[in-house]
């Protein structure tokens, strides 16, 4: 099977480049396409999917991943679903048990919440991060961290002596991809993503 990943930004591309071998079969192939930002992905998604619909091989699938960014999650998902429907491609959500070509997934609040979902990986990647972080108030649910997920993560990492000059999202994503273990991640939106991938 071949999977096309339509991604919002370079950090997601960096993460998936290192992480996908952990969750895909050895014979699977993939292509990562990042759109340089959420507005650009949303603006171009329908036309991109229509392009695929004209020639997509039988063994190809498409995954769209976008950050929630404190938007209405249901409205955002509806927007993604509508783009696929307009292109004539069936999504996992709409398939009702039948074959589908597209999976739309949302990282709540953003990709960095997935990193906070695996504190063991964060500690392994960045020594000095407290292993008790997962049990602290405000961090028990990685998808509901207040004050901006990446901003809070930057504070934690800087306190541990990392990224003194400011968080590099791409470097963080690339490093976390090497350490994250899919099944132990506490982020619900990550587990929903994983469940979607398992359906291929």
Do 59 and 136 sit in the same domain of this protein?
no
Mean pLDDT of the chain: 95
Looking at residue 93, which CATH number applies to its domain? 3.40.50
Do 73 and 12 sit in the same domain of this protein?
yes
Do 105 and 140 sit in the same domain of this protein?
no
Do 61 and 122 sit in the same domain of this protein?
no
Taking CA atoms, 71 is separated from 18, 83, 200, in Å, by 28, 18, 28
Do 125 and 93 sit in the same domain of this protein?
no
pTM listed for this prediction: 0.95
Short-list 92, 114, 116, CA closest to 197: 92
Query: Hey, what long-range contacts does 75-80 have (CB within 8 A, 24 or more apart)?
Result: 76/106, 77/104, 77/106, 79/42, 80/45, 80/104, 80/106
Total number of domains in the chain: 2
Do 105 and 9 sit in the same domain of this protein?
yes
- Is the pLDDT at 42 greater than 80, yes or no? yes
pLDDT of residue 137: 87
Query: In this prediction, what percent of the chain has a pLDDT beyond 90?
Result: 90
Range of the domain at 145: 111-184
Do 125 and 152 sit in the same domain of this protein?
yes
- Is the pLDDT at 191 greater than 80, yes or no? yes
Do 85 and 157 sit in the same domain of this protein?
no
How far apart (Å, rounded) are the C-alpha atoms in residues 25 and 193?
A: 16
Do 83 and 31 sit in the same domain of this protein?
yes
pLDDT of residue 147: 79
Do 177 and 194 sit in the same domain of this protein?
no
Do 33 and 100 sit in the same domain of this protein?
yes
Structure tokens at 76: 């955002």
Do 57 and 78 sit in the same domain of this protein?
yes
pLDDT in tens, 64-105: 999 999 889 999 999 999 999 999 999 999 988 788 999 999
């Amino acid at each position: 099977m071949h999977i096309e990943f339509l991604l919002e930004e370079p950090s997601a591309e960096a993460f998936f480049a290192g992480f996908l071998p952990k969750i895909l079969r050895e014979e699977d192939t993939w292509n990562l396409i990042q759109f340089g930002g959420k507005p650009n992905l949303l603006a171009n998604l329908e036309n991109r999917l229509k392009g695929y619909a004209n020639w997509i091989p039988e063994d190809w699938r498409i995954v769209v991943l976008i950050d929630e960014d404190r938007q209405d999650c249901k409205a955002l998902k509806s927007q993604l679903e509508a783009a696929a429907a307009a292109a004539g491609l069936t999504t996992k959500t709409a398939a009702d048990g039948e074959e589908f070509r597209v999976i739309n997934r949302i990282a709540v609040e953003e990709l960095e919440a997935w990193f906070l979902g695996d504190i063991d990986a964060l500690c392994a990647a960045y020594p000095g991060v407290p292993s008790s972080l997962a049990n602290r108030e405000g961090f028990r649910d990685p998808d509901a961290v207040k004050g901006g997920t990446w901003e809070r993560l930057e504070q934690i990492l800087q306190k541990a002596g990392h990224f003194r000059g400011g968080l590099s999202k791409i470097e963080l994503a690339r490093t976390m991809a090497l350490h994250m273990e899919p099944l132990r991640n506490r982020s619900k939106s990550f587990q929903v993503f994983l469940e979607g991938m398992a359906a291929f």
